[in-house]
Amino acid sequence: MGLVGPAPMSFNPVRRLSGDLLAERRVEVPFPPGETRFSVRRTRGFARDPLSLLLDAYERFGPVFTMRVFHGNSVFMIGPEANHYITVSHADNFTWREGHMGDLTALLGDGLLTIDGEFHHRSRRIMLPAFHHETIAAALATMDEEIDRALEGWRDGSRIDIYHWTRRLALRIAMRALFGFNPDAAGAQVDIARNFEQGLGFWARAYWLQVLRGPGTPYAQMQKARRTLDAIIFEEIARRRRSGERGEDILSLLIDATDEDGNRLNDRQIRDEVMTLLFAGHDTTTSTVGFMFYELARHPDVAAALREEQEGVLGGERPDAALLMGGKLELLEMVQDETLRMYPPAWIGARKSIETYEFAGKTVPGGAYVNYSSWVSHRLAHVFPEPDEFRPERFAPAAKAALPKGAYVPFGAGSRICIGMRFGKLEIKAIASALLQRFEFELEPGYRLRIRQMPTIGPRHGVPLIVHRRDRAPARRAPIAA
């Protein structure tokens, strides 16, 4: 029995814009105080540096405020209590699909990231076995092989853009471990990687360019990339159904997966989950590794302590899945957590309220766009002292356990917490461990970090590092499953 998905969304920009303006006029209660007048300057500022803009609004208006960006008002709820309210305690009063990030549906389709309600719950239950501990641990062998391959061209003194290097690596790992695609097959690397990047590039364009339609527009280019990717994915699904061929990859598991009532995902739904996982998986890994090594290059004492920990725990061997997933490399875990605090890839949680509600003494109308932001909440000084400083010790086990609910939400929380979180964290630590064992790093002279944030945050111009080979490389080992 197949699942019944939601009705198709409209991507007609005139209909969407006019619908938003009409809905805003029909609200039954006023929006919370804030910046509610149209402003080109504010819209541009939100596109360029939303962190500063939202932190300033938090200081002036408190944890709940309104900000008009582009054509419409959006409510922002900032801080641990706000994060917990939206994602856990009152999650049923918010829809994801109707929020601003629902626009991702134009490329990703109706995957876990863009669906709500019962369809989301049932889809997630069907997919959960594909993300069991054992399945993820088994993927470490593929990760190690691809890391070794990607490091073959590194030489002492080379200039490496760690962000773009990781982007290519993460796509290859995703293609193999998640979907069983051969990245080296004729045309595969170009078709999937290039077209996927072209599709995502739509959200990096200016707001006014995103509403254009017609030949040559960013939207047309994104849709062209989608058609190319669809042809590859649907053909692979059909081939496996015809042949009965299955592998250890997640695509194989999704084709055969059912829930307790015998519900299955149809081909379109499998395609949508493939695209969603490809987006969420590779983007999270790429940006986190890039930001992590930016900070480690600026803090060589932390990098040295990481190497000392690895020598003490591993003795020159590569870590297996039990070590990486069990938190036995404690400092590496803390460095990863601190990187995700400062630079959470999914920096904004866009929702739409269903019913009018009250929070922190303010009333928020039903039908309003409502957003929480992990990026902004993670930079609140009363929650994380000296929030702009890279301090991994703030995630020592006791300190992390003492954080209030909702304070740290790089992967969301509640029923919508990222299903691939453990896969992504394993991949990040496997990459970081290999790089630390083999190389030392320094930032290219004159480099200045600039951040872009659509649809996820990442270093706008990459992270160029000068790499120096260390004398001792890790010993090879046979992959060990946890």
Max Cα distance, the chain (Å) = 68
Q: Which two tokens stand for residue 153?
A: 């061209």
pLDDT score at 349: 92
Q: Which residues contact 56 (CB under 8 A, 6 or more apart)?
A: none
Give dist(CA 376, CA 370) in Å, integer: 15
pLDDT score at 185: 67
Give dist(CA 440, CA 156) in Å, integer: 10
Assigned architecture for domain 13-469: Orthogonal Bundle (1.10)
Confidence (pTM): 0.92
CA proximity to 237, closest of 273, 263, 210 = 273
* DSSP annotation string for 403-458: SPTTS--BTB-GGGS-TTHHHHHHHHHHHHHHHHHHEEEEEPTT----EE-SSS-E
pLDDT score at 473: 52
CA proximity to 345, closest of 101, 78, 108, 120 = 101
- Coil/strand/helix, residue 170: helix
Q: Which two tokens stand for residue 115?
A: 């669906």
Asked if 165 contacts 298 with a C-beta cutoff of 8 angstroms, the reply is no
pLDDT score at 477: 47
Q: Which residues contact 196 (CB under 8 A, 6 or more apart)?
A: 171, 225, 229, 278, 279
Give dist(CA 188, CA 413) in Å, integer: 35
Instruction: Report pLDDT digits (tens) over 27-69.
Output: 889 999 999 998 989 988 898 899 999 999 999 999 999 999 8
Residue type, 23: A
pLDDT score at 480: 37
Give dist(CA 257, CA 252) in Å, integer: 9
180 C-beta neighbours (distance < 10 Å), count = 17
Written as tens digits, the pLDDT of the chain (482 aa) is: 667 778 787 888 888 888 888 888 888 899 999 999 989 899 888 988 999 999 999 999 999 999 998 888 999 999 999 999 999 999 999 998 888 777 789 898 998 888 888 888 888 888 888 888 888 998 999 999 999 999 998 999 999 999 999 998 998 898 888 888 877 764 555 567 778 878 888 887 877 788 888 899 999 999 999 999 899 889 989 999 999 988 878 888 889 888 788 888 899 999 999 888 888 777 789 999 999 999 999 999 999 999 999 999 998 889 999 999 988 899 999 999 999 999 999 999 999 999 999 999 999 999 999 999 999 999 999 999 999 999 999 999 999 999 999 999 999 999 889 888 999 999 999 999 999 999 999 999 999 999 988 788 999 999 999 999 986 555 554 443 33
Q: Which two tokens stand for residue 94?
A: 């918010």
Give dist(CA 45, CA 112) in Å, integer: 30
pLDDT score at 354: 95
pLDDT score at 248: 78
